């Protein structure tokens, strides 16, 4: 490093120069270590100071250095320039592969894992977890670099959707035969079978080449005219509906055997399989095997041992009895996660699901069942899930809630949408007493469409046999925030959930909610949410007391009424107060509401935001305000 020295030949001038440019010592630094450099001067020399030194000898200033700093600087700059020219320019490919993947994830979305349990059952659809809606628009990113080509292709072909027709299978076969290297990238394969659409008129010559130029079919003699022409494979009429031409083109749909064989041949690396059956009135069920004159009784679907997650959407068009499910189950021996969704509630669907639950495969760990995906309010579907049969002389069917409870200890997560009642936990506790292993249940989500009628068992005074009665009548079949019978049933379901918490030590997430889009106040729809040690939703004195006794570490975030009463006192108590959740809590600690005689309009009771807690007695106030 160059060392410089300043030498003054005139000692007097040196003293004068030091005196004029010296500054008073600065204040002591707050740091414990003294600053090693001198404090810079606080003012620049003035012109007057320079004129005073005219004619005076200022001394000779000599700068001596051990080395030339200018020469060293030029040499250093030359070396750095040579290094820069020899070093290749930085590009996007020089980033770590993980960073490049994060950049693409920001555009495409996160790449979710395809293994069972990794896809959350809480409010997410399996069909949209790995599919990017704008993947065609961003496919040009594959041209950035060879590395990006692989990364973009991995994200584009991770989830593919194929039309479940013979033409769709043929198109997929031709594409992946020409691009066989892309088959290893497919992790989620989805087939949608158009059983509801593609309607065509009977005189469409493009779809029926057997129609001559002078032949037109009308509704009166269409069937007789079709009988005079040779049959074609695609013109076969469904056996269950020989005279219906509304869904004529649905016979072009591929069978399940063709779909399973296509997956087994081209997508051996797929882990998630979604089958979309659609929904419409009087739709035909997807055939499992091609229609033949003499079907083989031993025919089976191609096994898919690598599939871990199986999702059925529009399940009514996929299976309508247990034998249909048994055929599919044998072809999916290693499925650990099962999603099944019906668009509208049907009695046959309840019977099928009930029988499946009674024979649920032991390897299943995650189950998502929706018996009412459209939240229908059709009065014909309302009724109790009480054991019964449409045929009085037929076999009695087990209560669906009891079947759910029996499989609850064997699952890690369960999501259910439909009619439910507190029998779920009664059956689960009974099944748990017969099980030696600890229950694995971690997540539970229930969307309550309505609650089953309350059942009461009595003894016949004459015969002594037990007789079960249903209470509530038709009112118990309805649901809503002004239906106090439903609120009581929902309250019993929550109370049984609280009492079952100590028996399921791994259970850390429970969400029970009622969804009513036509509710006068959707913010007051009853719900109960448990997230580890924090509780939200409906409450009453008994629920809070039982929760404090059985799970002292779990408590409500706050205890409030959930409504805004005009002219009434509105008390809240935080769960941080031990008296609010402990067994010795007083009546004043439950956030009681003292409603005045003039409550006002019902709209004044509705909260402006979703309340963290709702007292069940508030629903009675709302019902009285609405005159119900």
Mean pLDDT of 503-519: 92
Question: Residue 350: inside a domain, yes or no?
Answer: yes
Please say whether the dihedral angle defined by the alpha carbons of residues 347, 348, 350 and 355, taken in this order, is positive or negative. Answer: positive
Which residues are bridge partners to 369 per DSSP?
340, 416
CB 607 within 8 A of CB 564: yes
Instruction: Judge if 71 and 100 occupy the same domain.
Output: no
Q: Is the pLDDT of residue 406 over 60?
A: yes
- Evaluate whether residue 493 is within a structural domain: yes
Is residue 337 in some structural domain?
no
Residue 357: inside a domain = yes
Structural domain of 435:
342-461+468-519
Residues 160 and 235 reside in one and the same domain: yes
Over residues 420-471, the pLDDT tens digits come to 999 999 999 999 988 888 899 999 999 998 888 776 666 767 777 766 656 6
* Domain final residue pick, 37, 63, 86: 86
pTM of the model: 0.70
Give yes or no: residues 66 and 101 share one domain.
no
pLDDT higher than threshold 70 for residue 148 = yes
**511: Cα within 13 Å, side-chain hemisphere:** 14
Residue that terminates a domain, selected from 480, 503, 519 = 519
> pLDDT band for position 499 (50/70/90)?
very high
Which pLDDT does position 519 carry in this prediction?
Answer: 86
- Return the percentage of the chain with pLDDT > 70, whole number: 60
Compare 309 and 20 and report the one with higher pLDDT: 309
Q: Within this chain, do residues 276 and 350 fall inside the same structural domain, yes or no? A: no
Give domain status of residue 420, yes or no.
yes
- Asked if 255 and 169 touch (Cβ cutoff 8 Å), the reply is no
How does pLDDT run across 227-250, given as a tens digit for each residue?
444 444 444 434 444 444 444 454
Asked if the structure places residue 281 within a domain, the reply is: yes
The answer on 496 and 374 residing in a single domain is yes
Q: Are residues 69 and 103 in the same domain?
A: no
- Same structural domain for residues 66 and 155? no
User: Are 17 and 156 part of one and the same domain?
Assistant: no
pLDDT score, position 385: 54
Identify whether residues 78 and 102 lie together within a single domain: no
Domain check: are 79 and 109 in the same one?
A: no
- Specify the pLDDT at position 476: 65
How many domains is the chain partitioned into structurally?
3
Residue 118 is assigned to a structural domain of this protein? yes
Residues 164 and 186 in one domain: yes
Question: What is the chain's mean pLDDT, rounded?
Answer: 73
Q: Are residues 100 and 61 in the same domain?
A: no
Residues 354-375: pLDDT tens digits?
Answer: 999 999 999 999 999 999 876 6
pLDDT tens digits for range 72-122: 555 555 565 555 566 677 777 777 877 877 777 777 766 656 554 444 444
More confident call, 224 vs 538:
538
Rounded to an integer, what distance in angstroms lies between the CA atom of residue 371 and that of residue 343?
Answer: 7
Does any domain span residue 549? no
């Amino acid at each position: 490093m160059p060392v410089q020295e300043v030498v003054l030949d005139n000692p007097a001038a040196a003293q004068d120069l030091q005196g004029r440019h010296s500054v008073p010592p600065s204040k002591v630094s707050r740091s414990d270590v003294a600053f090693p450099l001198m404090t810079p001067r606080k003012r620049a020399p003035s012109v007057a100071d320079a004129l005073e030194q005219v004619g005076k000898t200022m001394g000779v200033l000599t700068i001596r250095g051990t080395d030339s700093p200018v020469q060293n600087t030029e040499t250093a700059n030359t070396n750095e320039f040579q290094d820069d020219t020899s070093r290749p320019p930085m590009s996007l490919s020089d980033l770590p592969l993980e960073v490049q993947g994060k950049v693409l994830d920001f555009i495409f979305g996160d790449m979710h894992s395809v293994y069972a349990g990794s896809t959350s059952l809480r409010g997410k659809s399996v069909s949209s977890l790995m599919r990017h809606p704008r993947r065609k628009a961003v496919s040009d990113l594959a041209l950035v670099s060879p590395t990006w080509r692989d990364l973009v292709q991995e994200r584009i072909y991770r989830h593919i959707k194929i039309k479940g027709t013979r033409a769709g299978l043929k198109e997929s076969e031709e594409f992946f035969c020409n691009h066989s290297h892309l088959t290893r990238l497919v992790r989620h394969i989805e087939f949608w079978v158009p059983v509801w659409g593609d309607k065509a008129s009977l005189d469409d010559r493009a779809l029926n080449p057997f129609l001559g130029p002078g032949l037109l079919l009308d509704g009166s003699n269409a069937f007789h005219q079709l009988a005079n022409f040779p049959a074609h494979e695609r013109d076969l009429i469904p056996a269950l509906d020989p005279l219906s031409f509304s869904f004529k083109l649905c016979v072009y749909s591929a069978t399940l055997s063709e779909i399973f064989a296509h997956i087994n041949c081209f997508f051996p690396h797929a882990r998630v399989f979604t089958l979309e059956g659609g929904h419409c009135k009087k739709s035909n069920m997807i055939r499992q095997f091609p229609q033949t004159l003499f079907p083989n009784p031993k025919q089976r679907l191609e096994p898919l041992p690598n599939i871990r997650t199986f999702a059925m959407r529009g399940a009514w068009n996929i299976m309508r009895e247990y034998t249909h499910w048994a055929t599919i189950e044998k072809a999916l021996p290693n499925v650990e996660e099962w999603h099944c969704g019906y668009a509208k509630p049907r009695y046959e669907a309840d019977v099928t699901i009930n029988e499946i639950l009674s024979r649920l495969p032991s390897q299943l760990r995650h189950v998502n069942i929706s018996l009412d995906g459209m939240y229908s309010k059709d009065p014909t579907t309302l009724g109790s899930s009480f054991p019964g049969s449409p045929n009085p002389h037929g076999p009695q069917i087990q209560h669906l809630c009891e079947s759910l409870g029996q499989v609850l200890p064997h699952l890690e997560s369960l999501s259910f949408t439909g009619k439910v009642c507190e029998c779920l936990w009664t059956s689960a506790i009974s099944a748990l007493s017969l099980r030696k292993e600890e229950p694995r249940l971690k997540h539970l989500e229930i969307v309550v469409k309505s609650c089953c009628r309350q059942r009461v068992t009595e003894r016949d005074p004459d015969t002594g046999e037990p007789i079960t009665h249903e209470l509530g009548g038709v009112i118990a079949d309805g649901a809503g925030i002004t239906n106090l019978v439903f609120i009581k049933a929902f309250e019993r379901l929550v109370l049984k959930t609280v009492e079952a918490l100590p028996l399921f030590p791994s259970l850390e997430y429970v969400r029970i909610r009622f969804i009513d889009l036509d509710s006068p106040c959707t913010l007051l729809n009853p719900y109960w949410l448990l997230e580890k040690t924090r509780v939200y939703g409906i409450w009453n004195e008994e629920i809070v007391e039982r929760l404090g006794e059985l799970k002292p570490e779990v408590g409500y975030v706050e205890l409030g009424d959930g409504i805004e009463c005009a002219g009434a006192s509105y008390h809240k108590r935080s769960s941080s107060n031990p008296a609010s959740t402990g067994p010795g809590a007083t009546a004043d600690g439950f956030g009681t509401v003292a409603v005045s005689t003039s409550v006002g309009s019902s709209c004044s009771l509705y909260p402006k935001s979703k309340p963290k807690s709702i007292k069940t007695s508030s629903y009675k106030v709302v019902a009285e305000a609405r005159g119900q």
